[in-house]
Amino acid sequence: MAFSALPRPDMPAPQPVEATKVSSLPPTGRQTEPSLRESRGETGDQVFKAAMVLCGLTVLATLVLIVYELTLRSGPSWHAFGFKFFAGHDWDPVNEHFGALPFVYGTLVSSLLALLIAVPLSIGVAVFTTEMCPKALRGPLSFFVELLAAIPSVVYGLWAIFVLVPILSNYVQPFLARTLGWTGFFDGPPYGISMLAAGIILAIMIIPIISSITREVLMVVPQHQREAALALGATRWEMIRIGVLRNARAGIMGGIILGLGRALGETMAVTMVIGNRPEIAKSLFAPGYTMASVLANEFSEATGDVYLSALIEIGLALFLVTIVVNALARLLVWTVTRGQPSRANA
């Protein structure tokens, strides 16, 4: 199970029970020792503890440094444009006029599209693995789904360019245009490279996150909830709907938001298929641009302080949004898997 414990942003904090004993245990429990050894041990202890505290501080310092650098270096752009930066349509490096709205729009639409596709699929997979499939199939199934999380983003992008995009432009887009073209979301030339392609590849990438969290949350739903539903004559699906899914709602929501956090910051695969054009179009067949992709494409070529600082401001915005989204998600998952308030009729 090489990938069963892939790093997820929500790794639960371990129970604090045992460690309280560690720290309360006095280091001076060895009175009979020769004083020389004892003092050496104590100095060693202090040095060692200091080193470990330093490592902990490094983690904190890294985050502080990220915030500091992003804030400091986005200053020029902030002074030049203020809040209008996120309301402006123009992205014009030549005249040094920058508005980030098309990128914000692209990030939001591609991520929401990804959620729309990924959420039902992930919940379906999680329900199947925890409630329906034979025990023997459970391990391999979750292994395969989590294998999806191990594929590098750039490989997804490669596959999307050469497999997904041709399928979209040859089959899916003409079909959607014929059937749903009248809504306005699906018209325009079927080039394949589009917001739709970005949404689909993002969906494939966030499915493992959402489904593994959902699975975890479903597994902590108490067994008696299922038994009670079955005892009342519920069919298996009714049992899942009433006894399981309803109880796990908050946690599933947490998983979905974590998936959203990942989708918002995802860079390479999206950059490779979204078309990279800073425009706001209603049709999902039109190319778009996201905050992460504009950074990937333009950062190393940015000339001029304002240009660079405008890009860093986009990075800062992306950073803040993902932090809020992740904190929210962790809180939701935590309420379900840790404290177990009865939420039977919530």
Partner 1 sequence: MPETTHTSALRTVAPIALRRRITDHVMTGVAVLTVILVLAPLFAIFAYLVYRGVGSINWAFLTQTPKPVGEAGGGMANAIVGSAFILALASILGVPVGVGAGIYLAEYGRNRFGDVIRFTADVLNGVPSIVIGIVAYAIVVLTQRHFSALAGGVALAIMMIPTITRTTEEMLLLVPQALREAAYGLGIPRWRTTLSITLRTATSGVITGIMLAFARVAGETAPLLFTAFGNQFWNLKVNEPTAALPLQIFSYAISPYDEWHRQAWAGALVLIILIVTAVSAVRFAVRRGTFGAA
Q: Which 73-132 residues touch partner 1, going by CB under 8 A? A: 73, 120-125, 127-129, 132
Handedness of CA 70, 76, 82, 87 (dihedral sign): negative
Task: Verify binding: residue 335, partner 1, rule CB under 8 A.
Answer: no
Burial class (CB in 10 A: 0-12, 13-18, 19+), 112: middle
- 2-21 residues in contact with partner 1 (CB under 8 A) are 2, 5-7, 9-11, 13-16, 18-21
Single out the residue of 292, 310, 332, 336 in contact with partner 1 (rule: CB under 8 A). 292
Q: Which amino acid is at 227?
A: E
Element (H, E) at 35: helix 35-73
- Looking at beta carbons only, is 59 or 346 nearer to partner 1? 59
Report residue 87 as tokens: 């309301």
DSSP 8-state symbol, 289: -
- Looking at beta carbons only, is 274 or 286 nearer to partner 1? 274
Task: Verify binding: residue 260, partner 1, rule CB under 8 A.
Answer: no
Task: Verify binding: residue 36, partner 1, rule CB under 8 A.
Answer: no
Which one, of 204, 219, 261, 201, lies nearest residue 9 by Cα? 261
Which one, of 45, 337, 85, lies nearest residue 218 by Cα? 337
In contact, 122 and 210? CB cutoff 8 Å? yes
> Which residues, at least 6 apart from 333, have a Cβ–Cβ distance to it below 8 Å?
10, 213, 216, 217, 251, 254, 255, 258
- Looking at beta carbons only, is 185 or 334 nearer to partner 1? 334
To the nearest whole angstrom, how small is the minimum distance from the Cβ of residue 311 to partner 1? 8
Q: Which stretch binds partner 1 (CB under 8 A): 77-85, 98-106, 320-328, 335-343?
A: 320-328
Single out the residue of 87, 237, 331, 340 in contact with partner 1 (rule: CB under 8 A). 237
- Looking at beta carbons only, is 38 or 279 nearer to partner 1? 38
Q: Return d(Cα 91, Cα 290) in angstroms, integer.
A: 13
Backbone angles phi and psi of 92, in degrees to 5: -130, 85
Q: Where are the alpha helices (DSSP H) in 220-248?
A: 223-231, 236-238
Q: Return d(Cα 105, Cα 100) in angstroms, integer.
A: 9
The count of chain residues that interact with partner 1, using the rule CB under 8 A, is: 111
In contact, 69 and 61? CB cutoff 8 Å? no
**Binding-residue pattern over the window 139 to 168 for partner 1, x denoting contact by CB under 8 A:** --x--xx-xx-xxxxxxxxxx-xxx-----
**Whose structure tokens read 């329906």?**
132
Q: Which stretch binds partner 1 (CB under 8 A): 82-90, 215-223, 288-296, 335-343?
A: 288-296
To the nearest whole angstrom, how small is the minimum distance from the Cβ of residue 12 to partner 1? 8
To the nearest whole angstrom, how small is the minimum distance from the Cβ of residue 258 to partner 1? 8
Task: Verify binding: residue 195, partner 1, rule CB under 8 A.
Answer: no
Single out the residue of 84, 89, 178, 236 in contact with partner 1 (rule: CB under 8 A). 236
To the nearest whole angstrom, how small is the minimum distance from the Cβ of residue 233 to partner 1? 3
To the nearest whole angstrom, how small is the minimum distance from the Cβ of residue 181 to partner 1? 24
To the nearest whole angstrom, how small is the minimum distance from the Cβ of residue 174 to partner 1? 21
